[in-house]
Chain A
Amino acid sequence: MSGALGPFLLKRLALSLLTLWLLSVVVFFGCQVLPGDPARAILGPLADPRAVAALNEKLGSDRPPVEIYLSWMGGLITGDMGQSYAYRSPVAPFIGSALVNSLKLAATVFAIVVPLGIGAGVLAALRAGRPIDRLISVAGLSLTVIPEFVSSIALILVFAVLLRWLPLSASWPAGSGPLVQLQHLILPALPLVIVLFGYIARMTRAGMVEALSADYTRTAILKGLPWRTVLSRHVLRNALLPTITVIAAQMGYALGGLVVVESLFRYQGIGSLVLGAARAKDFAMLQAGILTVGAFFVVTTLLADIVTTLLDPRLRTGGRR
């Protein structure tokens, strides 16, 4: 029966590839077709038409879109992401270092928010309807909707300006050790933690409440198992599994905040790279940056799906009846 796993994973992989391909088309469309005339968009409405034509030729955007797309894809496969107009150098190295920086920030965020959010969600579900549940729910919900730039300002005021506990800039001096790096990362991480916390707590709570009221939980209680065993063996596993997938599926979306936070704290990550490219109308850079963000999301969801499949016997052994 476990033979069903192979085809399932293959299918899932194929779907991810399809999504990636569609993503490239969408991004390409947004960066090359939608602006109509990239050179005009870059140079502005008052530019000399000859300059526009020359730039278009230089950018290669005077060719038919399909051709541009194919050569872009060809480049991507060989690791060539094109030439940045603004920096006049290849895009790829920028993307690489920005991605590493963003991953550091994201890792800090998750290291703080996942245990916090899941813990709060579990607690709220166990005390469903009581004041602590209301507190977690309402606080979580209110925090989730505060834009990162708003909470950043508040945090900067308190921790960097008034208390001077944490450095304002996210960029650490070159050659700093991990601890110093971490110290610089905490302040930018907090706004994202605030946004994600309510979300994770809410998802966890929903999953827990469902598992707590499930018939199998009642069976376990009626077996006479102590409450701790009921929780650890029967409730948590069934509650958290789906929650993990849901959380992962929303991550990319929630990480849009990176753009804001990185630009606000002047941090050289993929978010500020994309924003900079957008401001400079550096379409090659923009295109590569956005595609990287999307690809990162697709890979995370794929991994989350695979993990849940491996852990969930219903999926692992095929055929949900």
Chain B
Amino acid sequence: MTDPAVPPVLRLDDMSVSYRIRGRAVPVLSQVNLSIAKGEVYGLVGESGSGKSTVALAVQRVLPANGRMSGGRALINGRDVGALDRAALLQMRAREVAMVFQDPGRALNPSITIGRQVAEAFEILGASGHEARRRAEEMLTRVRISSPARVMERYPHQLSGGMQQRVVIAMALAKDPSLLILDEPTTGLDATIEAEILDLVDTLRREFGASILFISHNLGAIAGLCDRVGVLYAGRLVEEGPVRDLFADPRHPYTAGLLRCLPRPGLRKDLAPLDTIPGFPPAPGSIPVGCVFAPRCALADETCRTIDPPLVTTGAGRVSRCHHHDRVGDLPHAVPRAAAGTLAPAGASTGTPVLELTALSKTYGSAPYAVQALRDVSLRLMPGQTLGLVGESGSGKSTLAHALLGLIAPDAGGGMALDGAALAPEVRRRTAEQIKTLQIVFQNPDSALNRSHSVRRLIGRAITRLGGLKGAQREAQVTRLLESVRLTARQLSARPRQLSGGMKQRVAVARAFAGNPRLVVCDEPTSALDVSVQAAILNLLAELQAERQVAYLLISHDLGVVRYLSDWIAVLYLGRLLEVGPAARVLDGPHHPYTEALLSAAPSVSGERTGRIRLTGAIPSGVSPPAGCLFHTRCPRRIGPICDTEEPPFTADAHGHAIRCHLPRAELGRSLAPATA
């Protein structure tokens, strides 16, 4: 596809990298081959530990002190990076390769103004001080920063995350690089901001014509942006090909598994479980015999376990490291749920709600610096159902969870009721029954499990506190709970550090269920996990719900997760409910303009983005929230002055679907492709 006379912008020849850990060389990348042509956008996808970020570091010779390129070569524009001398290396970094990392806040020097940092990138190229500043300003304009002169006077901490990332991108593009490496550039940013940055990268690639190496765990982002994609597993490139073909028809069981375990439109907890990839990636440093993926592969046979599969061509521009690449389509699917609809259908909201919040507010701080984290939130949740709570940073979703759990006291005036009985703001003043009834699964099991306690102790203590069991009874109950989260007694004496991420989260789930709760708050239960693990946890939550009629308050920024598990969905923005309703109605529309933007921001693997509604500008600060409609500063559908001055009413239809907007329902957006089957 390229002129052989022009060397590819980046080529890796059997590149291997290892880290020295406690005197042992641990291989991180093994013989990776890839090449990126001029103007091409190449996506490198992999889960944590796959070695994908190491690729970026090795290519630029900035591996950490214990890292070493142990084999092969990396060539940039035909020149071996490893063979460059000091001056040539500086030249290469100054002119040819640019890099954008995750976490822009840390990539910028906190004590130098934005203007100087960007200008510096031009000074290296020989521009005089004045000239450099002028070009810096121009570059900031090109990354769509609206008032560059003002931004240049600022320090990094005064900018929002999205703005910071634009600045970093501007610095990267300053040298008009032939290769731009983006390493998880949007991880940690909110969905609407992420969509903006991805759009920006898409536009800039055309304007600048740079080749891009885009490293991400986010399949959707890769699908929307890249021409070709490589899949990395345990330090090996297992499949490569044009992005559309590869995602539509994967030829490696791992790729297929990754794609299938994403919760996608049309899948719901009561219809079918998600597909999963069993097992975990090999421990770093272990030396596998045969195919690295064999322990987790449903197609694995004797050949796989003894012979390491070579990369074989499977189609035009496509390769796969699998003996049975032609049989990937045969991979078994998860069985649809036999008793579909065991759960009460959404909308059947009669009887006593397990949870009822009335006019709950929370203000942090006082007078001039007060932040209203929650404003008059009223919600109800029926037994056995899931309420999905969606919102970006600053929306107050965590505040809501913490208030509910008694970790912070809400403002006076609001009410919380559990099973019809008032819930005191402090845990201390709640009844033992209420404490049992209401439990939580946290986002990050590393933080939620005490690292000096064994699994037995972690779960056992919860059983003693919440279930009132002691001695042998307690022991029996620990085993039962472990089984119900699909762990075995083998893990009983393990400490959290000895377990994989997914196993840890299962322990956390088991602990939450120790007292047979009726309501479990799931605070981003899967966002610290890899997608293959996420699916298994979501299945587990769905099964436990079906078995035990437990209700979930599911907090998540990931609409896929919310869509899969929720019966009701509530959308929070700056502490205010903008939309509440049965899941299907909220997803299908009519939508609140903000919900519409959120739905549109979520990239899908098919590569077609569902819509092109983009928000501009940062999420306003809670200290000085906009007047009138809270959303008017970013609303693409703003009607006029009424939105700036008058808070819209929260009107509900017959199904309990309420929207807070001045626009009449008929004019609000709907999903083009209905979100539910």
Indicate whether A and B are direct neighbours in the complex (CB within 8 Å).
Answer: yes
B98: interface (CB < 8 Å): yes
A51: interface (CB < 8 Å): no
B99 and A216: CB pair below 8 A?
no
Q: In the assembly, what is the distance between CA of A254 and CA of B168, in Å?
A: 43
Q: Which residues of B contact A233 (CB under 8 A)?
A: 112, 120
A1: interface (CB < 8 Å): yes
B138-182 CB contacts (< 8 Å) to partner A: 155, 157-158, 168, 171, 175
B93 and A223: CB pair below 8 A?
yes
A266: interface (CB < 8 Å): no
A205-258 CB contacts (< 8 Å) to partner B: 214-216, 218-226, 233-234, 237-238, 241
B93's partner among A222, A238, A241, A314 (CB-CB below 8 A) is A222
Q: Which residues of A contact B95 (CB under 8 A)?
A: 224
Q: In the assembly, what is the distance between CA of A169 and CA of B434, in Å?
A: 76
A178: interface (CB < 8 Å): no
B103 and A223: CB pair below 8 A?
no
Of B60, B103, B107, B124, most A-chain CB atoms within 10 Å:
B107
B99's partner among A222, A312, A319 (CB-CB below 8 A) is A222
Known contacts A129-B65, A216-B106, A317-B158; is-contact A222 B111 (Cβ 8 Å): no
Q: In the assembly, what is the distance between CA of A216 and CA of B104, in Å?
A: 9
Q: Which residues of B contact A311 (CB under 8 A)?
A: 111
B468: interface (CB < 8 Å): no
A321's partner among B60, B157, B175 (CB-CB below 8 A) is B157
B94: interface (CB < 8 Å): yes
A216 and B158: CB pair below 8 A?
no
Q: Which residues of A contact B106 (CB under 8 A)?
A: 214-216
In the complex, per-residue mask of B175-213: 1 if CB is within 8 Å of any chain A CB, else 0: 100000000000000000000000000000000000000
Report the minimal beta-carbon distance from A133 to chain B, rounded to whole angstroms. 12
Known contacts A215-B101, A219-B171, A317-B155; is-contact A224 B91 (Cβ 8 Å): yes
The residue in chain A whose Cβ has the minimal distance to the Cβ of B99 is: A222
Interface footprint category on B: 20 to 34
B62: interface (CB < 8 Å): yes
Report the minimal beta-carbon distance from B631 to chain A, rounded to whole angstroms. 22
Q: Which residues of A contact B108 (CB under 8 A)?
A: 216, 219
B93 and A219: CB pair below 8 A?
no
The residue in chain B whose Cβ has the minimal distance to the Cβ of A235 is: B109
A320 and B157: CB pair below 8 A?
yes
Report the minimal beta-carbon distance from A26 to chain B, rounded to whole angstroms. 32
Known contacts A129-B65, A233-B112, A313-B111; is-contact A219 B168 (Cβ 8 Å): yes
Q: In the assembly, what is the distance between CA of A317 and CA of B90, in Å?
A: 35
A223 and B91: CB pair below 8 A?
no
Q: Which residues of A contact B111 (CB under 8 A)?
A: 237-238, 241, 311-314
Q: Can you name 29 A-B pairs with beta carbons within 8 Å?
A: A129-B65, A214-B106, A215-B103, A216-B106, A216-B108, A216-B110, A218-B101, A219-B101, A219-B108, A219-B109, A220-B109, A220-B120, A221-B62, A222-B60, A222-B62, A222-B93, A222-B98, A223-B94, A223-B121, A224-B90, A224-B91, A225-B90, A233-B112, A233-B120, A234-B109, A311-B111, A314-B110, A314-B155, A321-B157
Residues of B within 8 A of A (CB): 60, 62, 65, 90-95, 97-99, 101, 103, 106-113, 120-121, 124, 155, 157-158, 168, 171, 175
Residues of A within 8 A of B (CB): 1, 129, 214-216, 218-226, 233-234, 237-238, 241, 311-314, 317, 319-321
